[in-house]
Structure 1
Amino acid sequence: MNIFDAHCDVLMKMYIDPDISFLDSDKLHITKQGLLEEGGKVQCFAIYIPEKVHPDMRFQAALAMVDIFHEKILSEPEMKFIKTKADIDSLKEREIGALLTLEGCDCIGNDLLKLKTLLHLGVSSVGLTWNYANLVADGALESRGGGLTQFGTEVVNLLNEKSIWCDLSHLSEAGFWDTIKRAEFPIASHSNAHHLCSHPRNLKDSQIKALLQKNGVIGVTFVPQFLSNRDSSSIKDILKHIDHICSLGGERQIGLGSDFDGIEHMVENLTSYKDYHNFINELNRLYSSEFVKGLLFGNFTRNFPVKKERF
């Protein structure tokens, strides 16, 4: 089955360690070989700037990750750059779509031109924050819990204008509500249900319902801390979050955002992309083929914005 995975941190790992090979490195959870073996069809690659990078150097780091994306990901013969819905629809057998995303607007400071530059370079989804505050909004772990700033409103307006996904994962609760009112193309690329696991990164039922009402998609993530309140998590815990989101009306608006390569602790029997078959086997045992196809691929694909202009 084809898989659309809405979030990973491969670029961060390859930025930190330039010797890592995307082809088959055992230092990566996601490799080209793993994608080919498991049915990977579209993989989102996040530009995430580690906190240790000095603020004055963060935009340069973002550009370095764009370069890695082009030089070390897209250089692989089967990898194809995804910028439009038509690019996804035209993927051939054994071709894998690579979609560039931004996780947190820290690297743009208060400069909208920097964000425009990243959009010109092919970024198709923009997460407003990571866990803490920046000049756009507060993140989920920022104790202040503030919402969208005036500059943040300008950022969301630009994403609306350019038909770009506005990723609500990592936002503070106030930031979520400010943004969901304005965003025309909202998603939550890698978030789970707060009802089942009370981590501040997870979304409450009212937030999930609001996202669904705006025709957004939520990507269930494999981060153990977001799956259960125990020390370890299993595939059964992922299924519980899927069931809960479906109970809120999300059957056709639920997908996957693994967060592979951005996590240290893993779900049992799902320790890398090469274990996806273990998860899919459980899905096929419990759900209809139509639902499984939508969860794995169809729902995020159908939701991909049709751009008002191409640039």
Structure 2
Amino acid sequence: MSDEKTLIIDGHADILYRMEKEGLRFYEDKSNLHLNYDRIVQAGIDLQFFVLFAEPKYSPAEQLKMHLSMIEQFNAEVVGGGKIRPVLKKGDLERNMAAGYRSGLLSIEGGDCIQSDLRILHTMYRLGVRAMGMTWNQGNCIADGCGERVDRGLTDFGREVVREMNRLGMIVDVAHLGQKGFWDLIEIAQAPVIASHANARKIHDHPRNLTDDQLRALFKTGGLVGITFVPMFVGVGTVSIDDLMRHVDHVLELGGEDHLGIGSDFDGIERTLTDLRHGGDLPNFQERLLKTYGEAVMKKIMGGNFKRVIDSILKE
């Protein structure tokens, strides 16, 4: 293996949600966060997506208030701690790394907070949000999630949101989106599309996983799927990296070498893989990728593919 450091990007983690809900501190050594600062360092993560998530029991207006609180916490504590800098435009990741900092990128999980008002989307962009998942499992003003009985696809407003995100330079995320909404979005997208945290439905039939046709469609946009460590999306019962590798194998067999990344969903899950319990275990997965596929493919999956997508979407 070469001496050059492997760039590592994790496209989905609910660190801010747990900090807000449980009063946890990002820089405390004894924090039980899956991805506190020390564990991000142990994982070797250069860029971490920090997700803004609020439970669906809250109204869209309440979710917006909670998201704003998490953005303040990100700026005051995570960035304010002096060791992580935000990624707001193309080139920020490289600049942060050159200056000795790790990076964070804000992402919304479920666009309920937009409340059918593009001005809120613009405001979130100005506050540093650079990615958004259209839905969580339920429906909202943009589309229906994969947990709804009726799937109406993208709403007219949802189509406006996708077009505006493409114009602004925001990453469009289809994780949790219903099937019809997925295909509606693929039809109109003018930039690469990601599924930040999902696995292959062919390997494990779960509504949150993607079919082979969906995976190929993401590849065609130039986007990617972030392989996720959520046990219920990996397999049945107790699961490990062995089970996760079956999903990696399948995505690669479909032609996904340039379209596979990582979306751990750490801190958004209570149960973990037996050998991927938190960020400190990520080197276990990296080593397995290296031994199985070689250095070039490992580096693409660990962060190279995600960087390409980010660079193709974010503005200068």
Q: Same fold (TM over 0.5)?
A: yes
Q: Within 5 A, what are the aligned runs for 1:163-242?
A: 163-183=169-189, 184-228=191-235, 230-242=236-248
Bigger shift: residues 298-307 or 17-26: 17-26
Is residue 36–residue 94 contact of structure 1 (8 Å, CA) maintained in 2?
A: no
Pair 1:25–1:110, CA change in 2 (3 A): farther
User: How much has 1:309 moved relative to structure 2?
Assistant: 5.2
TM-score (norm 2): 0.94
**Using a 3 Å threshold, how does the CA distance of structure 1 residues 83 and 138 change in structure 2: closer, same or farther?**
same
Amino acid at match of 2:52: I
Separation in 1, partners of 2:41, 2:82: 12
Give the aligned partner of residue 121 of structure 1.
127
Q: How many angstroms does 1:307 deviate by? A: 5.6
Structure 1 residue 35, shift from structure 2 partner: 1.3
Are the aligned partners of 1:164 and 1:185 in contact in 2 as well (CA < 8 Å)? no
CA contact (8 A) 1:163 1:185 kept: no
Structure 2 unpaired stretches of 5+ = 1-5
Percent identity over the alignment is 36
CA change 1:22–1:138 in 2 (3 A) is farther
1:39 paired to 2:49: no
Task: Report the more deviating stretch, 40-49 or 68-77.
Answer: 68-77
Is the partner of 1:40 in helix, strand or coil? coil
Q: Secondary structure at the match of 1:85?
A: coil
Structure 1 length-normalised TM: 0.95
The match for 2:255 among 236, 249, 257 is 249
Displacement of 1:245 after TM fit?
A: 0.6
Q: Report the secondary structure of 2:98's partner residue.
A: coil
- The CA deviation at 1:89 is 2.0
Does structure 2 conserve the Cα–Cα contact (< 8 Å) formed by 1:192 and 1:227? Answer: yes
The Cα of 1:250 is off from its aligned counterpart by 0.6
Provide the alpha-carbon RMSD of the alignment: 1.5
In 2, the alpha carbon distance for the partners of 1:308 and 1:5 equals 17
For 1:214 and 1:15, the matched residues in 2 are separated by 35
**218-227 vs 182-191, which moves further:** 182-191
| Distance of 2:105 and 2:43 partners within structure 1 | 18
**How far does the alpha carbon of each residue in 1:239-288 deviate from its partner, in whole angstroms, 9 at most, with x for none?**
11111011111101110000000001100111100111211221222111
1:66 to 66, 71, 78: 71
Note the residue ranges of structure 1 that are not aligned, 5 or more in a row: none
Secondary structure of residue in 2 paired with 1:106: helix
Range with bigger deviation, 299-308 or 143-152: 299-308
Cα offset for 1:306?
4.4
Query: 2:299 is aligned with what amino acid?
Result: K
Please give the secondary structure, in 2, of the residue aligned with 1:99: strand
Q: How many residues align?
A: 309
The aligned runs of 1:1-311 (5 Å cut-off) are: 1-90=6-95, 91-92=97-98, 94-183=100-189, 184-228=191-235, 230-306=236-312
After superposition, give the CA deviation of every residue in 1:197-226 in whole Å (9 maximum; x if it has no partner): 110000000000011011011100000111
Q: In 1, are the aligned partners of 2:174 and 2:195 still within 8 Å (CA)?
A: yes
